[in-house]
A and B are shown apart, each in its own frame.
Chain A
Amino acid sequence: MTTALTHLQRLEAESIHIFREVAAAFAKPVMLYSVGKDSSVLMHLAMKAFYPAKPPFPFLHVDTTWKFREMIAFRDQMAQKLGFDLLVHVNEDGVRDNINPFDHGSNTHTHVMKTVALRQALDKYGFDAAFGGARRDEEKSRAKERIFSFRNAQHVWDPKNQRPEMWKIFNTRIASGESIRVFPLSNWTELDIWQYILQESIPIVPLYFAKERPVVERDGMLILRDDERMKLRPGETVENRLVRFRTLGCYPLTGAIESDADTLEAIVGEMLTARTSERQGRLIDRDEAGSMEKKKREGYF
């Protein structure tokens, strides 16, 4: 009788346990669906956790209106295929004020269209628990966060005063207006995610695979010109280059890498030789020291 679980089986079981705990203990949970590879894994785990039932909560996409078009197409396709309840929220105040990453910078854009938008959506529907796909290996303030991470009624995270989290016994108690952010992938690494995608044949947005794409070199990053809203600066040209993305976000803030990895195996192979971390491609983390912690305290995922 062989019963020792593999590394991935252990991670999968832990994540499923977390999903069920939230479904059992909270009145109105929601899953934050960001369409990226971690969200794809999260969605797959949610389907497993409640099989043969569907996940007993809706999926929420906070749309900044600057996501890659392929992400939106993939999102709608998945919602239809898996039959989950998809909510899309846009910060209409931000749209009215024409907040965008080019004129207002990544900081303001992310704050208004992502952080504030998320708070609006959570308040609007009255969600008391929200799943996110964050992993502890991504960034050092995330490495400090609990799996069940408490937020006060203003959605604020207090990193200096987190609840102790013992064993698999989660404290799910909150007062009215307070909420919990829940991170089922806390203990997964980037390699685990890719390995699991490969093992389970989980669909992901094609942008992760190398392909000739029209990119502009700007501030040391390769930006995919996804639509006409991106105006070229003097001296800039659009070139077709063989690129792919390690992470996905708003297209003007997400750098492509030059790569010919067009299969999952090749992506994993490339990862193993990678010399930079995946958040390297994210402009928003570099704005200032401790920037992720600051955003998280304000309510960012």
Chain B
Amino acid sequence: MTMRHIMAKSLAPTDGVRDYLAAQEKKSLLRFLTCGSVDDGKSTLIGRLLSDTKQIFEDQLAALERDSRKHGTTGDDIDFALLVDGLEAEREQGITIDVAYRFFATPKRKFIVADTPGHEQYTRNMATGASTADLAIVLIDARQGVLRQTRRHSIIASLLGIRHIVVAVNKIDLVGFDQAVFDRIVEDYGQFSRDLGFQTIVPIPMSARYGDNVSRRSESMEWYSGPTLIEHLETVSVDEAMVELPFRFPVQYVNRPNLDFRGFAGTVASGSVAPGDEVVVAKSGKSSRVKRIVSYGGDLAQAAAGQAVTLVLDDEVEISRGNMLVSPAARPQVADQFAANIVWFDEHALLPGRSYILRTETDQTSATVTDLKYRINVNDFAHEAAKSLEMNEVGICNISTRTPIAFDPFAENRTTGAFILIDRISNATVGAGMILHSLRRAENIHWQSLDVGKRVRADMKNQRPAVFWFTGLSGSGKSTIANLFEKKLFATGRHTYILDGDNVRHGLNRDLGFTDAERVENIRRVAEVARLMADAGLIVIVSFISPFSAERRMARELMADGEFIEVFVDTPFEECARRDPKGLYARALNGEIKNFTGVDSPYEAPENPEIHLRTLGKSAEEMVDALEHWLNERDIAEDQYDSGGGI
């Protein structure tokens, strides 16, 4: 087999190269992905595309022949899947785990293709490939028809903003090139996808393995008169005309090499801008004008969607990373509450009330899902009530952020309407979000600036506010220590309040049970109440098992710096079970109580508590002495700082 580059034949040494490069310059780029169920032939199709467009070099082909004999699943033929399944684990197991990016070109266009895995457990890797694609090839095995994963991938492609679909009915040779099979699958797919908002759906019958209707028109399917896959990919128009949309410039980096230069670096998300244009800072509403568009090769007369530039403004306006420069005529929304589609990636389910880190292209803040409105069933689009979102599930949520973000609905702008969610502890990327719209109440409720402030209220009580957060197993001694601590504080004239797990559950939180989601909500409400009490100037003692570190961290972040004091009441499980003051351990160990912390629900011990109380062999009085000592030390330190600060 000889391999010759498609373009090589016509080349004269130097002029030919120049002409060739000039032609390359004018080529457009199409990014697409292949998706669909396991074994529908995604990797084989990409191998076929690379081979037909002469992208496989001799040494790669030799390696491929070697590998095909070792791991191949196609008998004596070359197994093209081995060309893209680049990880050892993939070749050994014969499956695709992660997305692979491959590159090829035809005389008309350049292509970047993402080969994505079909297994449900690797859906997040499919989403990774889809997020940067403009077109999806959905493969369907002619013998199998539309499967669950065909639907899941189509829904995710639709949610992520892909508007162009090729339905590749593959392995048509294995059903005798039968038109009836093809027509039935096309009908099925059309039925199912009619509400997914695709602009074009082009069905093509093909055999990726033998190359029928990939780049070569099949001689076995005279009934098919549409384009081959390559013909369609070369000509389909996917331009979203981002440049036609209102100007959006998320500020990525403030470039300040010296006092005379202050530039805002970023990538134009949409629209265009020229020197002299008025721009508005999205979050503050302040306006200015573009003075220069700075680039390495000299100032530019214009910057348009997709270009990475540095803008210099006329005035010294306050702008930092995460803010956005926008068109004054059509501004984005700025809100801290909005509704969004979420695709969940993580093994640990999304729990309403839990705090995550939300990242847009350049902004970052904390966010909680305040309401999981429903989950979308990928088979029939049914909206199902749900208390959590499991891995690979898709749902619609209301989200509340700690600080407002600037955004457009994802349907209007794929760049400024997207975000990801990050777990606070593992730093894993746990979800992707597409914003639908802001929630009305976010726009209407503004914080009142009150003259009587927290400081004044606390000063009148002659104390500094604090939230002592007691965490530990049931029966560890939290309530005993908390009660004694409050008595001592009271005796020294402090104003205090105890929030106790049992008491709160009888009132404020009596609608909550003991599932993970309800435990998270339980803690969120208590933390918010504690914050209001600290704002009123009180010393608050919270005595809750609070088993999850994520919620304790959320509580910590609600309070002002230094006000949250995590107290780990550390009593070993065996000792708690032995004491068993309420007889709960006996019942839980008998299986009579479900979700009992330490028995069948985990307790995540604090890693760096402010105060670590090891109770074994010590009295409650000793514990309280330690707490009081800590509080006095803090107040002394703060008083010194205050008088030294002179404010």
* Chain A contact residues, CB within 8 Å of chain B: 1, 3-10, 12-14, 16-17, 20-21, 23-24, 47-54, 136-137, 139-144, 146, 159-160, 162-169, 171, 173-175, 186-187, 189, 191, 195, 198, 263, 265-266, 268-269, 272-277, 280, 289-290, 293-294
List residues of chain A with CB within 8 A of the CB of B615: none
Q: Chain A residues near B24 (CB, 8 Å)? A: 7, 191, 195
B114 CB, nearest partner CB in chain A, Å: 10
Is the Cβ of B419 less than 8 Å from the Cβ of A169? yes
A242–B16 CA distance with the chains assembled, in angstroms: 23
**B405-430 interface mask toward A, CB cutoff 8 Å, 1 = contact, 0 = none?**
00000000011001110100001110
The residue on A at minimum CB distance from B27 is: A7
Separation in Å of the B66 CB from the closest CB of chain A? 8
A166 to B20, CA, bound (A): 34
Residues of B within 8 A of A (CB): 3-5, 7-8, 11, 13-14, 16-18, 20-21, 24-29, 57-60, 67, 70, 83-89, 91, 97-103, 110, 112, 124-125, 127-128, 131-132, 239, 243, 252-253, 255-257, 261, 263, 265-267, 272, 294-296, 302, 304-308, 310, 321, 345, 357, 359-362, 414-415, 418-420, 422, 427-429, 432
Q: Contacting B305 at CB < 8 Å: which of A3, A12, A54, A146?
A: A3
Contact yes or no, B420 A169, CB < 8 A: yes
Nearest B residue (CB) for A273 = B8
17 more A-B residue pairs beyond the given contacts A51-B294, A144-B99, A268-B17, with a C-beta to C-beta distance below 8 A: A3-B272, A10-B306, A20-B265, A21-B252, A54-B257, A143-B84, A144-B87, A144-B100, A164-B124, A165-B128, A167-B418, A268-B20, A269-B13, A269-B14, A277-B60, A289-B67, A293-B86
Given A7-B27, A141-B86, also A173-B427 (CB < 8 A): yes
Q: Which residues of A contact B243 (CB under 8 A)?
A: 3
A162 to B101, CA, bound (A): 15
The total of Cβ contacts below 8 Å across the A-B interface reads 210
How many angstroms from the CA of A54 to the CA of B257 in the assembled complex? Answer: 8
Q: Can you list 5 A-B pairs, Cβ within 8 angstroms, ordered by A?
A: A53-B261, A140-B85, A165-B131, A265-B13, A275-B58
Kindly state the separation between the CA atoms of A166 and B420 in the bound complex, as whole angstroms.
Answer: 8
Residues on the A chain within 8 Å of B267, using CB = 13, 16-17, 168
CB < 8 Å: which of B91, B100, B101, B266 contacts A187? B101
Residue ID in chain A nearest B82 by CB atoms: A140
Q: Are B103 and A137 in contact (CB under 8 A)?
A: yes
A243 to B422 Cα, complex, angstroms: 51
Task: Given A144-B86, A276-B59, verify A166-B128 contact (CB < 8 Å).
Answer: yes
Contacts of B59 in A (CB 8 A): 276-277, 280
Closest to B423 in A: A173
Known contacts being A4-B28, A166-B432, A275-B4, is A143 close to B308, with CB within 8 Å?
no
Residue of B nearest to A48 (CB): B296
Which chain B positions have C-beta within 8 A of A162?
Answer: 98, 125
- Residues in A with CB closer than 8 Å to B296 are 47-48, 51
